[in-house]
Structure 1
Amino acid sequence: MEHGFLIQMLMMLVIAIAAIALFRRLGLPAILAYLVTGVVSGPSGFSWFSQAQMHSVAELGVVLLMFSLGLEFSLPRLWAMRRTVFGLGAAQVALTALVSALAAWYFQQDVTAAIVIGAAIALSSTAIVLKLLNEQNWLRRRHGELSVSVLLFQDLAVVPLLILLPLLASDGEALAYQDIALGLFKGIVVFVILMAAGKWALPRIFDEVARARSNELFVLSTLVVALVTGAFTQWMGMSMALGAFMAGMLLGESQYKRQLEADIKPFRDLLMGLFFISIGMLLDFQMVWDNWWQILLLLVAIVMGKGAVVYLLLRLGGEPIRIAATSAMTLAQVGEFSFVILALAVNYQLLDMSISTQLVMVAVLSMAIAPWLVRHSAELGGRLQSRLDNSPWQEPDIPEIKQKETVIILGYGRVGQTIARFLKVEAVPFVVLDLDPTRVAEAKNAGEPVYYGDAGKRSLLKQLGIRNSQTLVVTFCDSRSRENVVHLCRELAPELTILVRTRDDQSLQQLEQAGASQVIPESLEGSLMLVSQVLFQCGIPLNRILKRLESERRNHYPYLHGFFSGTESDFTLEQLHAVSLPDGAAAVGQQLCEIPWDKLKVDLKAIRRNGEEMAQWAGHWQLCSGDILLLQGKPRRVERAEQYLLQG
Structure 2
Amino acid sequence: MSAEASTSDLISVVSLLGAAVVAVPIFKKIGLGSVLGYLAAGLAIGPFGLKLFNDPQAILHVAELGVVMFLFVIGLEMQPSHLWSLRRQIFGLGSMQCLVCGILLTLVGMGFGFPLAVSFVSAMGFVLTSTAIVMQLLGERGDIAAPRGQRMVSILLFEDLLIVPLLAIVAFIAPPALDASAVAAPSRWGVIGLALASLAALVAAGVWLLNPFFRVLANAKAREVMTAAALLVVLGAALLMQLGGLSMAMGAFLAGVLLSESTFRHQLEADIEPFRGLLLGLFFLGVGMSLDLSVVAANWQLIVAGVLALMATKALCIYVVARLTKSSHADALDRAVLMAQGGEFAFVLFAAAVGARVIDATVNANMTAIVVLSMALTPLVVLVHQRFGPRAKVSMEGVEAPQDRQSSVLVIGFGRVGQIASQGVLARGASLTVIDNDTQVIRDAQTYLGFKVYYGDGGRSDVLHAAGAHTANAILVCVDDKAAATRIAESVRAECPHARVLVRAFDREHAVELVKTDGADVVIRETFESAMKMGYEAMLATGATEEEAEAVVSDLRRLDSERFDLEVAGDAFAGRALLRAGLRKKDNPDASTQAHV
Q: TM-score, normalised by structure 1?
A: 0.63
Matched, 1:115 2:90: no
Distance 2:213 2:451 in 1: 42
Matched, 1:632 2:596: no
Among 353, 372, 376, the residue aligned to 1:360:
372
- Paired residues of 1:307 and 1:332 also in contact (CA < 8 A): yes
The alpha-carbon distance between structure 1 residues 236 and 463, as it changes in their structure 2 partners (threshold 3 A), is: same
Give the aligned partner of residue 163 of structure 2.
161
Among 76, 82, 87, the residue aligned to 2:87:
82
Give the aligned partner of residue 613 of structure 1.
none
Distance 1:179 1:373 in 2: 47
Among 2, 7, 13, the residue aligned to 1:3:
7
The alpha-carbon distance between structure 1 residues 519 and 8, as it changes in their structure 2 partners (threshold 3 A), is: farther
Q: TM-score, normalised by structure 2?
A: 0.67
Distance 1:239 1:426 in 2: 52
Matched, 1:305 2:317: yes
The alpha-carbon distance between structure 1 residues 74 and 114, as it changes in their structure 2 partners (threshold 3 A), is: farther
Give the aligned partner of residue 96 of structure 1.
101
TM-superposed CA distance for 1:155, in Å, is 0.7
- Paired residues of 1:20 and 1:30 also in contact (CA < 8 A): yes
Percent sequence identity is 23
Matched, 1:54 2:59: yes
Distance 2:511 2:587 in 1: 22
- Paired residues of 1:20 and 1:33 also in contact (CA < 8 A): yes
SS at match of 1:632: helix
Q: Runs of 5+ in structure 2 lacking a partner? A: 180-184, 533-553, 568-572, 592-597
Distance 1:190 1:488 in 2: 58
The alpha-carbon distance between structure 1 residues 98 and 181, as it changes in their structure 2 partners (threshold 3 A), is: farther
Give the aligned partner of residue 509 of structure 1.
512
Distance 2:578 2:24 in 1: 50
Distance 1:4 1:271 in 2: 20
Cα deviations by residue, 1:133-192 (Å, 9 ceiling, x for unpaired) = 9659743xxxx4xx6356325414413404643873797437979854332232123334
Distance 2:492 2:254 in 1: 57
The alpha-carbon distance between structure 1 residues 28 and 409, as it changes in their structure 2 partners (threshold 3 A), is: farther
- Paired residues of 1:92 and 1:150 also in contact (CA < 8 A): no
TM-superposed CA distance for 1:527, in Å, is 12
- Paired residues of 2:477 and 2:504 also in contact (CA < 8 A): yes
SS at match of 2:343: helix
Distance 2:586 2:577 in 1: 7
Among 12, 22, 25, the residue aligned to 1:21:
25
Q: Runs of 5+ in structure 1 lacking a partner? A: 384-393, 456-460, 529-548, 563-572, 574-597, 605-630, 643-648
Matched, 1:340 2:350: no
Distance 1:134 1:7 in 2: 36
Distance 1:337 1:504 in 2: 46
Q: CA RMSD in A?
A: 5.4
Matched, 1:259 2:267: yes
Give the aligned partner of residue 445 of structure 2.
442
Residues 89-238 of structure 1 mapped to structure 2, 5 A cutoff: 89-110=94-115, 111-112=117-118, 114-121=120-127, 123=129, 127=135, 131=139, 135=143, 138-139=146-147, 144=148, 148=150, 151-152=153-154, 154-162=156-164, 164-165=166-167, 168=170, 172-173=174-175, 179-198=187-206, 202-231=210-239, 234=242
Matched, 1:602 2:577: yes
The structure showing larger relative contact order (alpha-carbon pairs under 8 Å, at least 6 residues apart) is 2
Matched, 1:418 2:421: yes
Distance 1:524 1:221 in 2: 42
Matched, 1:40 2:15: no
Which protein is richer in helix relative to its size? Answer: 2
Cα deviations by residue, 1:238-288 (Å, 9 ceiling, x for unpaired) = 665565555555555655444333322221221122112101112246738
The alpha-carbon distance between structure 1 residues 169 and 60, as it changes in their structure 2 partners (threshold 3 A), is: farther
Which amino acid is the alignment partner of residue 273 of structure 1? Answer: G
Paired residue total: 524
- Paired residues of 1:162 and 1:238 also in contact (CA < 8 A): yes
The alpha-carbon distance between structure 1 residues 69 and 6, as it changes in their structure 2 partners (threshold 3 A), is: same
SS at match of 1:339: coil
Distance 1:493 1:198 in 2: 52
The alpha-carbon distance between structure 1 residues 114 and 517, as it changes in their structure 2 partners (threshold 3 A), is: same
Which amino acid is the alignment partner of residue 416 of structure 2? Answer: G
The alpha-carbon distance between structure 1 residues 296 and 235, as it changes in their structure 2 partners (threshold 3 A), is: closer
Distance 2:429 2:74 in 1: 47
Distance 2:404 2:366 in 1: 61
Matched, 1:520 2:523: yes
Distance 1:255 1:420 in 2: 25
TM-superposed CA distance for 1:355, in Å, is 2.3
Give the aligned partner of residue 484 of structure 2.
485
Give the aligned partner of residue 544 of structure 1.
none
TM-superposed CA distance for 1:341, in Å, is 0.9
Moved more, 194-203 or 205-214: 194-203
TM-superposed CA distance for 1:558, in Å, is 0.9
- Paired residues of 2:105 and 2:123 also in contact (CA < 8 A): yes
Give the aligned partner of residue 270 of structure 1.
278
Distance 1:67 1:172 in 2: 34
The alpha-carbon distance between structure 1 residues 124 and 60, as it changes in their structure 2 partners (threshold 3 A), is: closer
Which amino acid is the alignment partner of residue 88 of structure 1? Answer: L
